[in-house]
Structure 1
Amino acid sequence: MLKLWVGLLLAGGITLAVTPWVRQQAFRWGAVDRPEARKVHRKVMPRLGGLAVYAGFVTAVLVTMPLTPALRGLLLGMTLILLLGIWDDTRGLSPRVKLAGQVVAALVLLPLGVQVHFITNPFNGHIVDLGWLSIPVTIFWVVAVTNAVNLIDGLDGLAGGVSCIAAVTMAVVGWTQWQVFGAAGQREIIMLALMLAAALLGFLRYNFHPARIFLGDCGSMLLGYTLAVMAIMGLTKSVTAVSVLVPLVILGIPLLDTFFAILRRCHRHRPIFQPDKEHLHHQLLAMGLSHRQAVLVIYGVSALLGASAVILNLVATDQALALLVVMAIVIIAGANKVGVTGRIPDRDRQASSRF
């Protein structure tokens, strides 16, 4: 317990202390985000906030935790993702180069044992050994979550806050698996998740609206990568029937927003990497919500999904599946209502009918 408190203080304190220095360096290195039509901010903003989060989190991990092979893989991959993001924030990278770098960061995990070796069939509880498929499944999961968190980073404090909620949820789910099911290895994931949350709370002091610094690609990709790897290290090790679905629910906001973005772009025959202004946060702003209100609404939805993930982990399989069906219906209805699926929202249809 003492190590956990030391880790939390180090993660949050170092991030809080280092962020102003990182802000200064971002201006010196030209790592700034300039206003444009697709973006919400109206002035030049420094990026590289992920560097401060990395400093706080990694220092806390090195001081308080033994370096197991899996943990070495996480830290090595995080470092590669951070460097890739810094390059993108300062000089700019094409989507293909970024994707290649993300794949490399996922590949370094494999020799160190960080893989999705099996999944549990949620309908019958049988364990399915993935065999050689564990390699592409692991790479796909890490790259998908890395990009999903990167894509939702469109408002002050959005990606950081959603990731903080996801990290706390992972810690709670890990604790329940440890206490209720006796799942081994959950202590490590609990400490990692809580220290990441502490680092993010330190950063949100400067990142919540009105932000003084952005995460940048180095930060949003770093958070997505870290959450994806922690899910593999902890949550996918459980043999409970719905274990394969719990990480998907915890990371529901970034994954669903990305999924709907891909659907929209494919339906309109646009490249899937082509940005647009129809993400969830854009639609909430279009509905008349203020910047803070839109962020807080998404925080609330993330918290509800987090609570649902904890419940899924505790109830019987048939109850869990029933809850998932209800959640799917509500999510699809809500996505259609606000327009993130590409369907014309009612407010726009009514407005267009007046002309």
Structure 2
Amino acid sequence: MDWLKYLLIPLTMSALITPILKVIAVKLEIYAQMNERTVHSGKIVRIGGVAIYVSFIVCMACFMKTDATINGILIGGTIMFLGGLIDDMVDLKPKYKLAIECLAAIVLMVVGKVSLDVIRLPFGITIDMGIISFIVTFVWIIGITNAVNLIDGLDGLSGGICAIILVVIACMSVVEARLDIETMSLLLAGSILGFLFYNLHPASIFMGDCGALFLGFIISAISLLGFKSSTIMTLALPILLLAVPIVDTLGAILRRKLSGHKFNEADKKHLHHLLMQRFGHRNTVLILYIVTALFGFTAYLYLVNKGTGFLVLFIIAIVVELFIETSGMISKQFHPILSIIKGIKKRCLQLYHMIYKKKSQKEIQNDIQK
């Protein structure tokens, strides 16, 4: 029953610390700023990530043995947390935030010796990354960190998704016999769950950048650490687990690139914004929880049965792609699969009319347009 202890102790700590943070933040007037991307109204404090950080660090000190890797994760995570906390209080310029993220990533790789040296692909294909392993690892850490931060747009969304991802990683770590990853994942998941009592809609406190950046950083480190020596496909399962934030981030990059906007310009065309327009706040968060859990289940299923895992993943991927195209998440002109379907439908109609109705090409074209 150790797994229950690893969940409940940080959960209790986080749940007790969060109300104290609310009082402190109100006195310091650390409120969430309203912009084009936010959906909240009124003054809501935004340093809830402190509760997650403190609970996790204290429990790590109690339950985990220190080594170079753990030191790298904790030192890098602390740098990321402090950078996010400063941003929550004074609104750092994007270039300064990026500099802090880069520093934290370098600490993780140099002090913790965390790197992606080998990529394993299906059919036993192995790629030795060599000198570019540093670049790939760096991009992964920065990318996942910012992906988690970008989905922190609705009450309970980022925290809940991260908690689901961490629980799934813990389950997969049992299969892979990685007790260290299991313990670390459950401790962080518990720290998030305690905070979520106050962050679910309608939220009375936000985690802020100190929480979102910290969570993204730790999850990126755990995913690399947990699967770098695995016999399964390297990075494939972490990408699958993090599908929601990754898809949302890639969509934002493409959307803003195509529209000529800067990447750091806020908008309301993120995945959760599009869903909220149709399903409302609570239902959108619940839908994205379920989607994340489905991707997590697929990743776990792949460990048990690769064929079934691939089939389920293919179906989910098609559904997600169709949503992206029909919603205009990237662009109203971006619809490759729908274009293929439309082309097939057009060709079938042409053949049908030519064979059974013997109509002219002009008549066929008129029917298709109708």
TM-score scaled by length of structure 2: 0.86
| Cα offsets for 1:244-267 (capped at 9, x unmatched) | 210001011101000011111111
Q: Which residue of 2 aligns with 1:226?
A: 218
Q: Which residue of 2 aligns with 1:93?
A: 92
Contact 1:8/1:60 (8 A) holds in 2: no
CA 1:99/1:215 → structure 2, altered by over 3 Å: closer, same or farther?
A: same
Asked if residue 310 in structure 1 is aligned to residue 282 in structure 2, the reply is no
Asked if residue 271 in structure 1 is aligned to residue 270 in structure 2, the reply is no
Whole-angstrom distance in 2 between the partners of 1:211 and 1:89 = 17
Asked if residue 334 in structure 1 is aligned to residue 326 in structure 2, the reply is no
Asked if residue 210 in structure 1 is aligned to residue 210 in structure 2, the reply is no
Q: Which residue of 2 aligns with 1:115?
A: 115
Code of the residue aligned with 1:80 in structure 2: it is: I
Q: Which residue of 1 aligns with 2:30?
A: 31
Code of the residue aligned with 2:332 in structure 1: it is: R
Q: Which residue of 1 aligns with 2:45?
A: 46
Identity over aligned pairs, percent: 35
| Cα offsets for 1:49-89 (capped at 9, x unmatched) | 11100111111111011012111111111100110001100
Whole-angstrom distance in 2 between the partners of 1:237 and 1:56 = 29
SS of residue in 2 equivalent to 1:108: helix
Instruction: Work out the number of aligned pairs and report it.
Output: 334
Q: Which moved more, 1:100-109 or 1:318-327?
A: 318-327
Structure 1 alignment gaps of length 5 or more: 179-185, 347-355
Whole-angstrom distance in 1 between the partners of 2:109 and 2:33 = 38
| Cα offsets for 1:138-195 (capped at 9, x unmatched) | 11001000000000001100000000011011111111222xxxxxxx1100111111
Code of the residue aligned with 2:198 in structure 1: it is: Y
| Cα offsets for 1:273-323 (capped at 9, x unmatched) | 111100011111212x2211111111111111111111122223x555454
Structure 1 residue 5 displacement after superposition? 4.2
SS of residue in 1 equivalent to 2:41: coil
Q: Which residue of 1 aligns with 2:244?
A: 253
CA 1:45/1:319 → structure 2, altered by over 3 Å: closer, same or farther?
A: same
Q: Which residue of 2 aligns with 1:238?
A: 230
Code of the residue aligned with 1:301 in structure 2: it is: V
Structure 1 residue 94 displacement after superposition? 1.3
Structure 1 residue 269 displacement after superposition? 1.3
Which structure is larger by alpha-carbon Rg, 1 or 2? Answer: 2
Q: Which residue of 2 aligns with 1:349?
A: none
Contact 2:81/2:210 (8 A) holds in 1: yes
Contact 1:35/1:44 (8 A) holds in 2: no
Contact 1:338/1:345 (8 A) holds in 2: no
CA 1:344/1:210 → structure 2, altered by over 3 Å: closer, same or farther?
A: farther
Structure 2 alignment gaps of length 5 or more: 336-370
Cα RMSD for the two superposed structures: 1.8
Code of the residue aligned with 1:235 in structure 2: it is: F
Structure 1 residue 344 displacement after superposition? 7.7
SS of residue in 2 equivalent to 1:51: helix
Asked if residue 297 in structure 1 is aligned to residue 283 in structure 2, the reply is no
Contact 2:148/2:216 (8 A) holds in 1: yes
TM-score scaled by length of structure 1: 0.89
Structure 1 residue 237 displacement after superposition? 2.2
Structure 1 residue 345 displacement after superposition? 11
